[in-house]
Homo-oligomer: A and B are copies of this chain.
């Protein structure tokens, strides 16, 4: 991103500038360190899931590997998934495809905000609505011709910011890792072992 950056820190020469709630110096230190030593950018993100019966299961997230070290989160995160009654669940949590929409929403939002911050684009408010299409005949195995996953996902952002920056903000969403994982695809290797 360095070629397009016109952040306030660079302009002002101070180290405590915050844009869009993001401490620019911290982010730029990370960028600079990875630029100098690419191995620092190699990350392994992790999750552990336990089935709780029926359609209810719980994921815990405790830490990840990055900057050539194991890094613990300040707290353990627990995320519950279930299905609504019409899909034979008890609604104890958002269902997995709704969790996917959350991952996409949060990632595109964070990507836009952070990349805007280092470019000096101030955002006052930001919200989004997502809607994705799934034909359950795929999941249920009723037709091999019907895709099992989302086919189309629509994301509508409303941003309170300089109106001249709307197109630029839209372009920044393309940096999102989850957006890229969903649109470009990723390899998923699944192993199943007896316990």
Q: Name A residues whose Cβ lies closer than 8 Å to a Cβ of B.
A: 1-2, 4, 20-23, 26-27, 30-31, 34-35, 38, 41-51, 53-57, 59, 61, 64, 66-67, 71, 73-75, 77, 79, 81, 83-88, 90-91, 93-111, 113-115, 123, 125-142, 147-161, 163, 166-167, 169-170, 173-195
Contact = CB atoms under 8 A, between A and B. Distances in A.
A40 to B, nearest CB: 8
Given A57-B105, A148-B175, A113 B51 contact: yes
A138 B180 contact: yes
A1 B149 contact: no
A125 B128 CA distance: 38
A177 B189 contact: no
Nearest to A49: B105
B81 A110 contact: yes
A52 to B, nearest CB: 8
A141 B54 contact: no
Contact of A45 (B48, B97, B159): B97
Say how many copies of this protein the assembly contains. 2
Residue of A96, A97, A109, A169 with highest tally of chain B CB at under 10 A: A96
A95 to B, nearest CB: 8
Contact of A98 (B47, B123, B174, B185): B47
Nearest to A163: B194
Contacts of A159: 192-195
A43 B113 contact: no
Residue of A59, A115, A161 with highest tally of chain B CB at under 10 A: A59
A152 B102 contact: no
A83 to B, nearest CB: 7
Given A45-B98, A96-B110, A170-B191, 16 more contacts: A27-B87, A30-B136, A35-B137, A41-B142, A46-B131, A48-B129, A50-B127, A51-B125, A57-B106, A79-B99, A79-B106, A96-B103, A97-B181, A147-B184, A149-B178, A149-B184
